[in-house]
């Protein structure tokens, strides 16, 4: 499942490839699950619209659309605004390809672009979702972890009675921080995943604030080199290039102190930590 850094990388890759394109027509498959908005609404928002920008919000990829068509222009003459929102779910992919490229099984949407290329949404397991928002109103739950300032970060967590690991994964607090990046951030901040958030000092939360951003930024920087591979081909491999210090290293020696890394389960998710470096 793509996490925030992968979604950021994919959004940046798409922005380079499709910004400025006009969607000439749209084909949607018959499967209902991938469509979170009615097919007619998705078609109305996308067809004849110009892709003004592509960016990430949480784990969503958001296409800002401008519609300058006569029938839909607003009273002041400016192009109406809408957004196409893609959540990749477990196995969703967006491909930019030539029309001659073979249409893969599990293709649920094809956007024909003004350059002659196509943007396709492929998703074998169908946990991905396509929706539209009018008037650029889409808002993902939670606060953007790369933008949140230290006081807001502390305010989000210091009242929580749950383990800090669960609070980090709570998408209503921070949007888009997944299991791997939560474990890696807690290791860097020296905080055990099971610690109740309310018991963590301001100073430690300050360290966690820095660590979350550091881990996500490093992963984004690493992901940047494989943008083209990801958008075009099918490998999720090659993405988690961040050197994990604790995640998936149960029983291996801590890279700092050589203590064996422990694995515990918190709210049904594996959590990895160093019993010596993390308090």
Give me the residues that bind Zn ion (CB under 5 A), please.
254, 256-257, 259, 274, 276-277
Is-catalytic flag, 59?
Answer: yes
Closest contact distance (angstroms) between CB of 277 and Zn ion is 3
| Active-site residue, from 2, 34, 145, 193 | 2
Q: What is the distance of C-alpha 123 from the center of its chain? A: 16
> Toward Zn ion, which CB reaches closer, 26 or 254?
254
Candidates 72, 160, 195, 269; catalytic one: 269
Please spell the DSSP secondary structure of 88-116, one letter per residue.
-TTT-EEEEE-TTSPPPTTEEEEEEETTS
The whole-angstrom separation of Cα 173 and Cα 180 is 17
The least distance separating Zn ion from the CB of residue 276, rounded to whole angstroms, comes to 5
Whichever of 154 and 277 has its CB closer to Zn ion, that residue is 277
Rounded least distance, CB 191 to Zn ion, Å: 13
Q: Are 131 and 109 in contact, with CB atoms under 8 Å apart? A: no
* Residue 2 appears among annotated catalytic residues: yes
For the question of residue 3 being annotated catalytic, the response is yes
Cβ 200 vs Cβ 234: under 8 Å: no
145 is catalytic: no
CA–CA separation, 228 and 205 (whole Å): 36
Which of 12, 56, 59, 120 is flagged as catalytic?
59
Tell me if residue 73 falls in helix, strand or coil: coil
The residue assigned the tokens 């030539």 is 98
- Token duo for residue 14: 């798409």
Shortest distance, CB of residue 186 to Zn ion, whole angstroms? 12
Residue closer to Zn ion by CB (options 110, 191) is: 191
CB 5 within 8 A of CB 240: no
Determine the residue with CB nearest Zn ion. Answer: 254
Nearer to Zn ion, 180 or 277 (CB): 277
Residue 12 structure tokens: 């940046």
Contacts of 50 (CB under 8 A, 6+ apart): 20, 21, 22, 23, 65, 66, 67, 68, 79
d(CA 11, CA 5): 10
Which CB sits closer to Zn ion, 189 or 254?
254
Please state the closest distance from residue 253 (CB atom) to Zn ion, in A.
8
CA 274 remoteness from chain centre:
27
Minimum gap (Å) between residue 117 Cβ and Zn ion: 49
Nearer to Zn ion, 135 or 260 (CB): 260
Report d(CA 148, CA 178) in Å as an integer: 17
- Cα–Cα distance between 205 and 189 in angstroms, integer? 8
- Of the residues 3, 6, 8, 184, which is catalytic? 3
Which residues are part of the catalytic machinery? 2-3, 59, 269
């Amino acid at each position: 499942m793509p996490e925030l850094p992968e979604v950021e990388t994919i959004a940046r890759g798409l922005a380079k490839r499709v910004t400025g394109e006009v969607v000439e027509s749209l084909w949607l498959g018959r499967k209902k699950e991938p469509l979170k908005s009615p097919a007619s609404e998705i078609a109305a928002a996308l067809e004849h619209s110009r892709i003004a920008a592509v960016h990430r919000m949480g784990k969503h990829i958001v296409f800002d659309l401008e519609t300058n068509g006569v029938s839909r222009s607003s009273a002041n003459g400016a192009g109406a605004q809408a957004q196409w929102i893609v959540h990749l779910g477990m196995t969703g992919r967006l491909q930019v390809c030539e029309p001659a490229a073979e249409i893969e099984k599990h293709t649920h949407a094809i956007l024909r672009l003004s350059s002659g290329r196509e943007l396709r949404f492929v998703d074998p397991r169908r946990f991905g979702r396509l929706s539209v928002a009018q008037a650029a109103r889409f808002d993902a739950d939670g606060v953007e972890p790369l933008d949140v300032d230290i006081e807001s970060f502390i305010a989000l967590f210091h009242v929580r009675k749950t383990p800090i690991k669960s609070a980090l994964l709570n998408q209503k607090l921070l949007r888009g921080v997944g299991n791997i990046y939560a474990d890696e951030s807690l290791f860097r901040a020296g905080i055990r995943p099971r610690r109740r958030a309310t018991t963590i000092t301001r100073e430690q939360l300050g360290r966690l604030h820095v660590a979350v951003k550091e881990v996500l930024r490093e992963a984004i920087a690493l992901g940047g080199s494989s943008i083209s591979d990801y958008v075009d081909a099918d490998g999720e491999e090659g993405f988690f290039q961040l050197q994990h210090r604790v995640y998936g290293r149960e029983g291996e020696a801590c890279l700092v102190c050589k203590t064996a890394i422990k694995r515990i389960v918190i709210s049904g998710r594996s959590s990895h930590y160093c019993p010596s470096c993390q308090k």
